[in-house]
Amino acid sequence: MPQVEAKPIVLRDCLVRADTYDFEKAISGVTITPTTGNVTFNGLTPDATFNFPTATTWATQMDYAQDWETEDSLSMFLYQHEGELITLLFEPQRGGLGWEVDIYIAPGSIGGQVNTVATSSVTHGVQGRPRPIPAV
């Protein structure tokens, strides 16, 4: 059996675009996560156990620095577009294979701890599933 080569990546020059805005300078992490559940039926005999996967759902988590002073900051964008369905493009390596997701916008938190950068983490529900976008 042939051995498959591995090419791990390090997230250090990414692209994160929503509408016409590139937000990667404010973002420290993006994770697009699938969740698949399981349904089990147990009959009245020991060999009557049946497992079925449920439909997979997706969510996108963004970790970012809050910025309430810049007019078109990510913090303000999330606050002003709450509930809207938008397309988000994430390229783990700028110019490489990207992933588009249609997400419902949720705002992030406001404030944080003293003597630290005010950060937030927000999870957006994905409509459908991620779409691979070929490298440019």
- Listed in sequence order, the residues at least 6 apart from 97 whose beta carbon sits closer than 8 Å to its beta carbon are 91, 132, 133, 134, 135
- Does residue 124 carry a pLDDT above 90? yes
**For range 73-97, the mean pLDDT:** 97
CA atoms of 65 and 80, how far apart (whole Å): 17
* Nearest by Cα to 110 from 47, 49, 65: 65
Contact 105/133 with Cβ under 8 angstroms?
Answer: no
- What pLDDT does residue 19 have? 85
DSSP characters for 42-110? E-SSTT-EEEEEPPPEEEEEEEEE--SSSTT-HHHHHHHTTT-EEEEEEESSTTS-EEEEEEE------
The domain ranges of the chain are 27-37+52-133
- How confident is the model over 9-62, as pLDDT tens digits? 999 999 999 988 999 999 999 999 999 999 999 999 999 999 999 999 999 999
Structural tokens at position 77 = 């964008």
